[in-house]
Amino acid sequence: MSSEQPYISIRGMSFSRGERLIYDNMDVDFPRGKVTAIMGPSGTGKTTLLRLIGGQLLPDSGSVMVDGHSIPELPRKQLFDFRRKNMSMLFQTGALFTDLNVFDNVAFPLRVHTDLSESMIRDLVLMKLEAVGLRGAHQLNPAELSGGMARRVALARAIAMDPEIIMYDEPFTGLDPISMGMIVKLIRGLNQALGLTSLLVSHDIEESCNIADYLCVVSGGKVIGFGTPEELLNEGNDEVKQFLTGDPDGPVPFHYPAPDYRDELLGAGGSN
């Protein structure tokens, strides 16, 4: 890990939803200026982690520090200010505003947050759209875009305010190989060109290993492995290795906990 201060630092964080404990006293650091992929089995709350970092959810206990600011303790107005200046998130569905066209979607944060002239906004929007290769599509409506295009427009919108960190929520889900390749290239390219800190929630091990500087494997409310892809593949514990190699059975059992099979089939049936 770099010698710099980590960009995000989480200490002793617990979070539960109803009765279910999602994070249990978790500690993790995300380094500045790197791409870190958060991976783990479905339902472990990876997207929840992004929302905790973004301040959309509050932890039950523990601290979430982003660039030296304690996110859960920021008052509402400062939190919105902080998000505007530093953060961006790419949602799984793109979350484009359906009542605005592509151009206005990308222009939205600029119009809301800045006093730039309309011609300046136009230039900026076209530059952002050029970066994702969709300058020619700026008049289309969100309904006319394919899934991959919508995600690229959303990415252009996410970088409109030049954030310090982008959080990608499952950016590869449901994309064809070409669109996926484009998104991979963009994430990597943006990270290099702009020096962004990037967090990526994904199931796709191959793409994540390609793109990420670090992998963070989450399971059972804790971080069970953090390191470069090679480190984890060679030195991670069995559960991490099972996840990365995709073994159906291992420390994470194939079977959901159940009574003994033989008993259930042959036992004093009829009760169910």
Partner 1 sequence: MNLFERYLNMGRSGVESIKSLGRATMLLANSTTWGGPGSAGFADLIKQIHSVGVRSLSIIIVAGFFVGMVLGLQGYTILSDFGSEAALGTMVSLTLLRELGPVMTALLFAGRAGSALTAEIGLMKATEQLSAMEMMGVDPLKRVITPRLWAGLIAMPVLALLFSTVGIWGGAFVAVDLLSIDEGAYWGNMQASVEFYEDVIKGLIKSVVFGLVVTWIAVYQGYDSIPTSEGIGKATTQTVVISSLAVLGLDFVLTAVMLGGV
Give the footprint of partner 1 on this chain (CB under 8 A).
54, 56, 76-77, 80-85, 87-89, 91-93, 95-98, 108-109, 112-113, 154, 161
Residues in the chain: 272
**CA 255 to CA 158: how far, in whole Å?**
41
Closer of 88 and 219 to partner 1 (Cβ)? 88
- 210 and 55 Cβ atoms separated by less than 8 Å: no
Query: Smallest gap, in angstroms, from Cβ of residue 245 to partner 1?
Result: 32
Closer of 20 and 113 to partner 1 (Cβ)? 113
Closer of 94 and 229 to partner 1 (Cβ)? 94
Query: Smallest gap, in angstroms, from Cβ of residue 71 to partner 1?
Result: 12
Query: Smallest gap, in angstroms, from Cβ of residue 53 to partner 1?
Result: 10
Helix axes 102-113, 147-158, angle to 10 degrees: 20
Query: Smallest gap, in angstroms, from Cβ of residue 214 to partner 1?
Result: 23
Closer of 40 and 163 to partner 1 (Cβ)? 163
Closer of 56 and 139 to partner 1 (Cβ)? 56
Token pair recorded at residue 194: 């702009």
Closer of 91 and 231 to partner 1 (Cβ)? 91
Q: Left (φ > 0), alpha (ψ -120 to 50) or beta: where does 18 sit?
A: left
- 32 and 11 Cβ atoms separated by less than 8 Å: no
- Backbone Cα Rg of the chain: 21
Closer of 16 and 108 to partner 1 (Cβ)? 108
Query: Smallest gap, in angstroms, from Cβ of residue 169 to partner 1?
Result: 9
Count, in order, helices (H) and strands (E) of the chain: 10, 10
Closer of 160 and 223 to partner 1 (Cβ)? 160
Query: Smallest gap, in angstroms, from Cβ of residue 112 to partner 1?
Result: 4
Helix ranges restricted to H, 40-176? 46-54, 76-86, 102-113, 118-131, 147-158
- 46 and 218 Cβ atoms separated by less than 8 Å: yes
Strands 35-39 and 197-201: parallel
Residue 53: CB atoms within 10 Å: 21
**CA 231 to CA 154: how far, in whole Å?**
33
Residue with tokens 């279910």: 20
The residue type found at 226 is F
Query: Smallest gap, in angstroms, from Cβ of residue 257 to partner 1?
Result: 27
Query: Smallest gap, in angstroms, from Cβ of residue 95 to partner 1?
Result: 4
H or E segment and range at residue 97: none
